Amino acid sequence: MSEDAKKNEEVLEEEKVCEEEEEDASECKDEQKEDEQQSDPEEEALNTKYLRLMADFQNFKRRTEKEKSDIYAFANEKIISELLNVIDNFERALAAGDESDSFYQGMEMILKQLLGVLEKAGASEITALGEDFDPNFHNAVMTEDSTEYESGKVTEVLQKGYVLNNRVIRPSMVKVAN
């Protein structure tokens, strides 16, 4: 055989090999497409499950962080509630005392110091006198006719109320105008 014939024969063989490889490649691509179509629902289910688990985990983290911050914010609530009775007794004693007496002045200083400590802890007094009656902050124990205040206004505070970090720990006991 001549060299040209050998070259033509080699070219023909290479073309056949290339054609066979292309057929194999297209078959592989078809098989991959079929595999992808079959695995797509499985992958979607797994992805959906994964996303739901991530969302649940994020919600869990957020919820536990909120609970933890609430615990820190309201950990002092019980002791502050107990101290409110002591403050009430201080105020009653001061109401019965004489302002010029040095004992009275000492008691007043102690009361101011105690109120300062409560304020640092996040507790504050509920302002009630002359305000509109709000059942969220006030506990109406009496009503009275009043010329000084409009109807629905607090006319007298019988016991002071307090909030701790914007949460009522003791509502104010008040008289309300008719």
Determine if the pTM surpasses 0.85. Answer: no
pLDDT at 19: 61
pLDDT at 32: 55
98-125 pLDDT tens trace: 888 889 999 999 999 999 999 998 899 9
The mean pLDDT values, 10 residues at a time, for the chain of 178 residues are 62 60 56 60 90 95 92 84 92 89 91 93 91 92 90 92 92 93
pLDDT at 97: 84
- Three-class DSSP labels, the chain: CCHHHHHHHHHHHHHHHHHHHHHHHHHHHHHHHHHHHHHHHHHHHHHHHHHHHHHHHHHHHHHHHHHHHHHHHHCCHHHHHHHHHHHHHHHHHHHHCCCCCHHHHHHHHHHHHHHHHHHHCCEEECCCCCCECCCCCEEEEEEECCCCCCCCEEEEEEECCEEECCEEEECEEEEEEC
